[in-house]
Structure 1
Amino acid sequence: MAFSSFSICWVLPLSARLRLGRAYFKSLVPNVVQVSAHRIIKGPCYPCELEALLFVRKHTTIPVPRVFRTYPASDGRIYIEMEFVKGVSLAELWLKTGLTDDAKKAIIAGLHDAVTQLRNLPPPTPQDIVASTSTKEGLSDGRIGPETFGPFTSHDAFHTFLRGGIPIESTQKTYGDTVFQVHTRRYKTHFTHADLVPRNIIISNERIAAIVDWGFAGWYPEYWEYTKIFFDAFVRLDWYTAVKEAIPQYDTELAAERALWQQYDEPGVLRW
């Protein structure tokens, strides 16, 4: 599946390109290899990540890496060759306090704009679904587990999954009042990055150059973007204070999620 013009260096097998990239360029993260001054190859990834990248690039002005081509992996996943966006992760800058207050405000404003654009995307169906971008592929989310899951035809079905199948009538006894309260509410469905944490925000010239790592993205209940920001090990508390200005807050839902994180984390993992 090609997304750009031909170049002679691309005729090398994927394995050779990855090997050469690891030898000649600085290592990024375990599943991302830089293969030229302007390109990286990420993988193996689930197809839902490719769907999200193409969808967001087509329907918003959010800065995301350009996709050039994909390669099949042996297990149904894919490798994605995409643009290497130069810059520094917001995590690195925020930890080093290398940002002025004005720069932080500009970044938070940019993040607010990105989230607003995502939330304004019309869902593909009037149903309260939880699904990948196209609704055809399974979702991926580290909050759930290492394997894909879904899609779900309703938020109720998704919430039941998060509870490990515990019926709503037994939820208060098992997980407490807050989980019961949240899982009986009605929510809108919004397109969600679902991992909008500092390491996935690339900064250049004190502005957002790219939002990366769309592997968890999809259609979720409206609170999921907010609660997932807190499903992270970033240690600077002032980040969590600042980011509340960028994203609608759902603190009751966050309390419910934290109760589930403690009592039944990774519901997608099979338990014997």
Structure 2
Amino acid sequence: MDTDITKFRVPNELWRDVPPLARLWLAVPTRIRLAVYRLIWWLADTMYPRGYAVRVHRILPGIYLKYGLIKSSEPHAMLLLRRHTNLHSSVALDYVTSTQAMIGGSQGINSYTTAFLLMTAARGQSLMAVEDKLTPGQITSLGLELRDYLAEMHKIPNPYKYGLCSSAGGGVDAPRITADNFDLPPCENIRAFHGWLTRRMGMDWPLMEPKVQPLFDKYDEQPTIFSHGDLSSDNIMVHNGRLSGLIDWETSGWMPPYWDYLCTRWENSEVCKTVVRLAIPEHSDREKYEMSAAAAVGRGHSPTTIPSFEEANIL
């Protein structure tokens, strides 16, 4: 397996938004930085073995190195937050991609792209790690603090030609819609996205239309807002019972107003469910359910096998 292309993709002039020492590091040629990251990763993996997929190692106090199939939307989102808001999150210090060739038998030579993301640590611990220690009052405060966080985040301006796109301006990592099979294509606006989803449902659209067309009509003409796209108990950070930020921004982008509620993963955390419902009270579980059902039909599931919202009893 050989590296045939290495590059540093600057997310909107990253160097302008990092501390001075990081600027000096960015001045080092990309191939040297990549070689250093590979050496650090090998040493860290030798001393502290981790799982296969995307992994993170602390390499210095307050500094982490992440490696894997990391989408460029993650450093872009970190930069956008730092440039346009006062919100707390990790700070992207470097992002280096490497396209590697792999001999694939009868398939010939295939390639795939991995990346190293150098970033600061987010303050606190995940909600998952501390939820059993939180008081009811702290849980309520977390929900209200997250509401303020999202309200400021939603105002981040979109510099790209597509109204609905990732924080890097391209396709959106949207597991709730695509089940991780592909990225959601960028769209001109919310109406165009709803049209794309309608076409995905094909011949099943007449059965789904009464359930989702009212939602489409409600949001078709509304502007997109900057969204995280994966609120969950492992991405919400807490310090001393207070919200300290959000992490993992690969799914971020400018999406419909209902997006963060739709894409929340709270199935294994009643605390997360309470926090998100307090943070986003303007959206409903019915919206979340009907849009999730439409996405499932768009992936080939029969609408006759999906129970109604009332039958599902998800409350």
Q: TM-score range by the shorter chain?
A: 0.7 to 0.9
Point out the structure with the larger helix share: 2
Shift in Å, 1:172? 5.0
| Equivalent residue for 2:164, pick from 130, 141, 144 | 130
- Can you give the 5+ residue segments of structure 2 that lack an aligned partner in the other structure? 1-7, 9-14, 100-111, 302-315
| Equivalent residue for 2:217, pick from 181, 184, 190 | 184
CA spacing shift, 1:228–1:58, aligned 2, 3 Å: same
Which one-letter code corresponds to 1:31 in the other structure?
A: V
Q: Does 145-154 or 62-71 show the bigger shift?
A: 145-154
CA spacing shift, 1:201–1:28, aligned 2, 3 Å: farther
| Equivalent residue for 1:149, pick from 184, 187, 192 | 184
| Equivalent residue for 2:60, pick from 36, 41, 44 | 36
User: Which residue does the alignment assign to 2:244?
Assistant: 209
Matches within 5 A, 1:75-114: 75-76=112-113, 78-94=115-131, 97-114=132-149
User: Which residue does the alignment assign to 1:48?
Assistant: 73
| CA distance in 1 between partners of 2:146 and 2:72 (Å) | 25
CA spacing shift, 1:25–1:37, aligned 2, 3 Å: farther
Shift in Å, 1:69? 1.1
CA spacing shift, 1:130–1:158, aligned 2, 3 Å: same
User: Bigger radius of gyration, 1 or 2?
Assistant: 2
CA spacing shift, 1:138–1:26, aligned 2, 3 Å: same
- 1:67-102 deviations in Å (ceiling 9; x for gaps): 1112112145532110123532102222xx211123
Which one-letter code corresponds to 1:133 in the other structure?
A: S
User: Which residue does the alignment assign to 2:5?
Assistant: none
CA contact (8 A) 2:74 2:250 kept: yes
User: Which residue does the alignment assign to 1:255?
Assistant: 289
User: Which residue does the alignment assign to 1:270?
Assistant: none
Shift in Å, 1:60? 1.0
2:84 corresponds to 1:59:
yes
User: Which residue does the alignment assign to 2:107?
Assistant: none
CA spacing shift, 1:142–1:255, aligned 2, 3 Å: closer
| CA distance in 1 between partners of 2:124 and 2:50 (Å) | 15
CA spacing shift, 1:123–1:16, aligned 2, 3 Å: closer
- 1:125-175 deviations in Å (ceiling 9; x for gaps): 7x982112353x3222222224333211122221233345346xx665242
Shift in Å, 1:195? 0.6
| CA distance in 2 between partners of 1:155 and 1:245 (Å) | 25
CA spacing shift, 1:182–1:213, aligned 2, 3 Å: same
Which one-letter code corresponds to 1:195 in the other structure?
A: D
Q: Which has the higher contact order (CA 8 A, sep 6+)?
A: 1
CA spacing shift, 1:265–1:221, aligned 2, 3 Å: same
| CA distance in 2 between partners of 1:202 and 1:29 (Å) | 24
User: Which residue does the alignment assign to 2:267?
Assistant: 234
2:278 corresponds to 1:245:
yes
2:215 corresponds to 1:195:
no
| Equivalent residue for 2:44, pick from 8, 21, 27 | 21
| CA distance in 2 between partners of 1:79 and 1:88 (Å) | 23
CA spacing shift, 1:29–1:201, aligned 2, 3 Å: farther
| Equivalent residue for 1:175, pick from 208, 215, 224 | 208
Which one-letter code corresponds to 2:126 in the other structure?
A: S
Shift in Å, 1:239? 3.2
The TM-score normalised by the length of structure 2 is 0.71
The TM-score normalised by the length of structure 1 is 0.81
CA spacing shift, 1:25–1:211, aligned 2, 3 Å: farther
Shift in Å, 1:257? 1.2
Percent of aligned positions with the same letter in both sequences?
20
CA spacing shift, 1:171–1:123, aligned 2, 3 Å: farther
| CA distance in 1 between partners of 2:157 and 2:209 (Å) | 33
Helix, strand or coil at the partner of 1:73: strand
User: Which residue does the alignment assign to 2:102?
Assistant: none
Shift in Å, 1:218? 0.4
| CA distance in 2 between partners of 1:19 and 1:66 (Å) | 23
